[in-house]
Structure 1
Amino acid sequence: MDEPGWYKDEIRVRKLLTARLLSALKLVSVLRLSTALRFGVVLLVSSILFGCSNFRNLSHEIDAINSITNQYQLVLSQPASDSAVVIEQIKDINKSEVDGYDGIIASDRIDLQLSNNIHYLLVFEDKNQDLTLQADEAFSVINLRNHQDNSTIEVSLEVNENEVPSAFVGRSLSSLLKIELDLVDIGTVVSLSDPPFDRKNAKLGMWQPLTFLLEHNAGVYFLSEYDPNKIPILFVHGINATALDFAPLIEKIDQSKYQIWVFNYPSGLSLALNSKGLNNLIHTVVTQYKIQQLHVVAHSMGGLIATNSLRQCSIGQLCDFVSSITTISSPFGGVASAKQGIEYAPVVMPAWIDLNPDGKFIADLFSDNNDNNTPHFLSFGYNSGELFNTKSNDGVINLSSQLSRPAQLHASQILGYDEDHTSILDNDDLFEDLSDFWLRAEQTN
């Protein structure tokens, strides 16, 4: 498959700017600048390399997002037993409505980024894993008005039948969820040639994620009218990409048996936030259409988002309808350049924080491997496409990251292909292996 024009242009520009970067670094060496000044020059060159306007736009967007959200870290004073801890996000504690949820799995803490109209958190230890607060389960109600943005909240869970919130006790999470999805599309029938999948929107979603949302480019889109007799396959793209990347693969699928759905999202946002968005959308679609089976196929960074989303909704077995997940060329061990971006870039893209090999997101991704019930096909590429490349990679992601040990332990099938990071999506062997994998998963579902 020929590389798309935008990819060739990007490589050409990168080579040109890299040459400028090397020249600048040589100048730094010759002038024997101080450490502080050398660091300043590196930042200056990085601004040239990535584009000053991009960083300026990203800075404005992050400020806007921060103005409508709050961030907290919840820390359990006593770690729960083997039970999951459910966190229900609530606007009005007197109404029987939950506006979102999260969960703490195999840990004693969690980082949350919440809309600033969420005023309460109902946290409880779900001992019987039914996603329902029972009167005899330990809980805590947190009034977020009493806590500042970016604060750490210590949570003590206790059984107190006299104080348990009556509007929520005995009510399942699924019956309480009232998720508002004003800025996303659900079930809109589209073509991959439509505006949301244009390459310029891929860049927009990376550098201006809020604008991307406000222009209604996000959601779960259908490539055909919903058919209850066909099994949905949901595709999740990677960073600086759209569902258009999957076109060669989608064209090969038997659409008399399957229907194609695509998740379009702003890839510059944190992976945790996009995972939550995918989780909410899947819940909404499944509830609306009463889905019994669903395959998920994700490429590159999308594999991390899909994996984390399924990890979160596995609390209380909310994802039993997912027949399989396939990840293609995904950086499960993180991306070293993301760490460098965090250290040296003038503005840090939220996605980089979660792609950091040493970060919490990567560390937690497979922390509950023993609870894995969804068949996972891990596919990877190993053709760098470069004559003098001495590293084992697909031209973008190192094999050591694609094949991180936790990811391998999580997978039920692992296969590699002599392809680079994008050409793998047009590989006939991959498609045949995918088709067989789907069939086996459907037979055991």
Structure 2
Amino acid sequence: MQVSVKDNLGLFSGQVNVLMVIRRLSLRVLAWIIGGACLSACISACSFVKLNEETKVFYSSTVLVGSISSDMTWDKPVVVAAYTKHQGKLEIAHYTVLHEPGAYELIVPKGEYAVFAFGDANGNLMLDEGEPVGLYASTSIVASGTGVVAELNFLISNAAQTAIPTGTVVATPASGSKLHSTQIGAIAELDDAVFSSYAGRGAYWAPVDFFKKTGGNIYFLEKYDPAKIPVLFVHGVGGSPQDWKYFFEHLDRSKYQPWFFYYPSGASLDSMAYLLYWKMVNLQRRYHFDKIYFTAHSMGGLVVRSFLSNYGAQFPTAKLFVSLSTPWGGDTMADKGVRYSPVVVPSWNDMQASGRFVQTLFQKPLPPGLDYYLFFGHGGSYSLLRSANTDGSITLASELRADAQADARMVKGFNESHVSILSSPEVFRQYAAVLASADQKNAVATLTDNGNVQVAFTYEMQDKLPKTDPLLLLTPVGTGAAREQIILPVSAGDSGREFGPFPVGEYEATVFAYGFKTVPAKIPAVIASGKKPALTFSLVPQGVLSGYIGADIKAGDNPAGSYRQPHQHIRIVSITLKGENENRILTPEYGGKDRGAEAYMAGQDYSYQSSFSFVGLKSGRYELLVEAEGYQPYRQSYLIVPGQYDYLKPIDLTPLKK
């Protein structure tokens, strides 16, 4: 029997089509499992093409963060944009809108950028005559295509400038649309389409596109009320704020104010934990709440746990964490997805049961003073795709990881599925009881074991320059010195404010601000119930150059928006800084305790392992030389201006050729 070429092609084509159908079906099932029941919609070939593009962009982008302030009274919207210039024209890489001056985030591809901002009173996304404008002009901003570039802070004002001409347009607003603020504390309408389940699913499959259009943010449902306790709700995979509707409707709004963290759940969990930190530190500085409760569903619990264990020391106000149906042990289906899928959602990498994120999640403890409660569901039906018991999406073995149970004050199971646990009256009754218990515990502690402190500080500099927001540091001494150091983010405008409550005891108090020397370096303070010590500091501008050698990373280890860890295994021979009439050499300390903060406050240069800091520098240009065993020498020039702290991105060293 003869078979024609045409028949051969047809037979081959048929085989390929069958294989493609099987593969697509497998991927749909895989995506459904990893994404949870809410993502059960079929995934088209076009979706995978889009996801492939999104993934490439995500792993070749950098997030820029900073803060906009004003030397005038301006409480209207602000537009912030990153741009390049091509043939003399501004090309906008990304822009965002704030409802008033404050913190911002931008995401840009690898390259060099400048950032500008202007007040946008009429919301037309164009710089009009009379609107304040400003430019981050310290240096060009180098985006490496990974991680974060921080501390890009600057002022907007009516001062004359030529860099950004009147009439500059960043975008054309859609007809009839309202500007969406990505700034903390934006008041949200829960029924708005941007917070819908559909939008949440889109944020899973297209995290970069979502971040560019919507951002990631902590929203309020009402104006901040200092008499009510904030409760921050964090959704899971493919989720949205509307997932929490039942909780919002039944929460006692006379006692609590619901906030929600809305983020692209397809992004790296390291990146989202850092974004949560960035949002929280700015919320703390703005509103000075003395307690906050966290509630997270599914993968959102992983984000919150990572935030609390890595950054929780700066949030003594964090008092309660409740997780619902969180896959503490990861998901083996994510392992399969990473291994077999032609395209991988970035968060799958972190959801792998065998992956770095899950394996290291419990290496650092939760902050002291925080109570954790573990809620889980066991009402899932049998699945041919999983041999283990599940809640319909996540195995009970993952929900009940031993490390998570060991941290919990209470482990409570419910006959609910992964989704129904968010709308169960029984679950909410138990949740309300947990809130009431936390209220009672914190009320008793506030009355008997805590006190406040009043802190004043003055910046000895021109008012026209942006001021570094400080940290209030309280280090226990004498009796009770075993307690943890208290680190509280405060705002540059908080001088004279009363802070607390803090545990009673003896402390050494100081205010720490990069780019400034604190005078005096520290003040003894006794915090006691009913007493309020008053502390006064001066912040004197000084030149500072500090940074660290970044850990060796592979592709994907330091995605957009994530914090890159310092190198743990490098052996540095010396770190030299040369300037006019300056020649300073540091040899890092290894072992023992990192004394970086203490050395900075004492006005001493210091290096610990792969980190370093030079202080008390005069204005001018300096050359940094880093020499390490097994690596080529690193040389770089920096312009130092006292009172202006420029973020120094992690340093990459090139290995010597063997």
Task: Please state which band the TM-score falls in when normalised by the shorter chain.
Answer: 0.5 to 0.7
SS of alignment partner, residue 397 of structure 1? coil
C-alpha distance in 1 between matches for 2:366 and 2:205: 37
C-alpha distance in 2 between matches for 1:116 and 1:256: 49
Name 1:428's counterpart in structure 2: 425
CA shift in 2, pair 1:386/1:251, >3 Å: farther
C-alpha distance in 2 between matches for 1:259 and 1:382: 30
SS of alignment partner, residue 346 of structure 1? coil
User: What are the within-5 Å matches in structure 2 for residues 76-225 of structure 1?
Assistant: 184-216=182-214, 218-225=216-223
Check if 1:352 corresponds to 2:345: no
C-alpha distance in 1 between matches for 2:219 and 2:419: 22
Name 1:306's counterpart in structure 2: 304
Is residue 366–residue 410 contact of structure 1 (8 Å, CA) maintained in 2?
no
Name 2:280's counterpart in structure 1: 282
In the alignment, which of 332, 335, 338 is matched to residue 336 of structure 1?
A: 332
Deviation of 1:51 after TM superposition, in Å, equals 2.4
Is residue 308–residue 366 contact of structure 2 (8 Å, CA) maintained in 1?
no
Check if 1:443 corresponds to 2:443: no
Deviation of 1:226 after TM superposition, in Å, equals 1.3
Name 1:53's counterpart in structure 2: 46
Name 1:132's counterpart in structure 2: none
Deviation of 1:245 after TM superposition, in Å, equals 1.0
Name 2:399's counterpart in structure 1: 402
C-alpha distance in 1 between matches for 2:391 and 2:43: 22
C-alpha distance in 1 between matches for 2:346 and 2:380: 27
C-alpha distance in 2 between matches for 1:185 and 1:115: 24
CA shift in 2, pair 1:417/1:358, >3 Å: same
Is residue 332–residue 404 contact of structure 1 (8 Å, CA) maintained in 2?
yes
Name 2:467's counterpart in structure 1: none
Deviation of 1:348 after TM superposition, in Å, equals 0.9
Deviation of 1:248 after TM superposition, in Å, equals 1.0
TM-score, normalised by the number of residues in structure 1: 0.64
C-alpha distance in 2 between matches for 1:183 and 1:42: 43
C-alpha distance in 2 between matches for 1:330 and 1:248: 19
Deviation of 1:227 after TM superposition, in Å, equals 1.0
Deviation of 1:229 after TM superposition, in Å, equals 0.8
Is residue 392–residue 418 contact of structure 2 (8 Å, CA) maintained in 1?
yes
SS of alignment partner, residue 369 of structure 1? coil
CA deviations on 1:413-445 (whole Å, 9 max, x unpaired) are 110111111111122232222222222223333
Return 387-396 or 373-382, whichever deviates more.
387-396
Check if 1:419 corresponds to 2:416: yes
What amino acid does structure 1 have at the position aligned with 2:194?
P
Deviation of 1:364 after TM superposition, in Å, equals 1.3
What amino acid does structure 2 have at the position aligned with 1:409?
A
Check if 1:324 corresponds to 2:320: yes
Deviation of 1:57 after TM superposition, in Å, equals 1.1
C-alpha distance in 1 between matches for 2:270 and 2:299: 12
Q: Which protein is richer in strand relative to its size?
A: 2
Identity of paired residues, percent?
29
TM-score, normalised by the number of residues in structure 2: 0.44
Deviation of 1:58 after TM superposition, in Å, equals 1.4
What amino acid does structure 2 have at the position aligned with 1:380?
F
CA deviations on 1:331-360 (whole Å, 9 max, x unpaired) are 000011111110111111110000000001
SS of alignment partner, residue 250 of structure 2? coil
Is residue 296–residue 324 contact of structure 1 (8 Å, CA) maintained in 2?
yes
User: What are the within-5 Å matches in structure 2 for residues 246-265 of structure 1?
Assistant: 246-265=244-263
CA shift in 2, pair 1:311/1:247, >3 Å: same
CA deviations on 1:199-246 (whole Å, 9 max, x unpaired) are 221121011111111222531111112111111111000011111111
Runs of 5+ unmatched residues, structure 2: 1-14, 29-41, 64-102, 114-140, 156-179, 443-658
CA deviations on 1:374-423 (whole Å, 9 max, x unpaired) are 11110000001459986321111110000001111121211011111111
Is residue 203–residue 263 contact of structure 2 (8 Å, CA) maintained in 1?
yes
In the alignment, which of 365, 377, 381 is matched to residue 377 of structure 2?
A: 381
CA deviations on 1:25-65 (whole Å, 9 max, x unpaired) are xxxxxx9x9xxx99988645545663222221112122223
CA shift in 2, pair 1:197/1:148, >3 Å: closer
C-alpha distance in 2 between matches for 1:337 and 1:292: 41
SS of alignment partner, residue 184 of structure 1? coil
Name 2:129's counterpart in structure 1: none
Q: Which protein is richer in helix relative to its size?
A: 1
CA shift in 2, pair 1:341/1:402, >3 Å: same
- What value does the CA root-mean-square deviation take over the aligned residues? 3.6
C-alpha distance in 2 between matches for 1:50 and 1:436: 41
C-alpha distance in 2 between matches for 1:309 and 1:278: 7
Deviation of 1:179 after TM superposition, in Å, equals 11
CA shift in 2, pair 1:38/1:365, >3 Å: farther
What amino acid does structure 1 have at the position aligned with 2:417?
D
What amino acid does structure 1 have at the position aligned with 2:353?
P
Runs of 5+ unmatched residues, structure 1: 1-30, 71-98, 101-112, 119-143, 152-172
In the alignment, which of 219, 233, 245 is matched to residue 235 of structure 1?
A: 233
Deviation of 1:366 after TM superposition, in Å, equals 1.0
Is residue 51–residue 205 contact of structure 2 (8 Å, CA) maintained in 1?
yes
CA shift in 2, pair 1:116/1:282, >3 Å: farther
User: What are the within-5 Å matches in structure 2 for residues 359-370 of structure 1?
Assistant: 359-369=355-365
CA shift in 2, pair 1:177/1:68, >3 Å: closer
C-alpha distance in 1 between matches for 2:58 and 2:188: 28
Q: Which structure is larger by alpha-carbon Rg, 1 or 2?
A: 2
Is residue 60–residue 110 contact of structure 2 (8 Å, CA) maintained in 1?
no
What amino acid does structure 1 have at the position aligned with 2:282?
T
C-alpha distance in 1 between matches for 2:364 and 2:109: 24
CA shift in 2, pair 1:432/1:117, >3 Å: farther
C-alpha distance in 2 between matches for 1:188 and 1:149: 29
What amino acid does structure 1 have at the position aligned with 2:300?
G
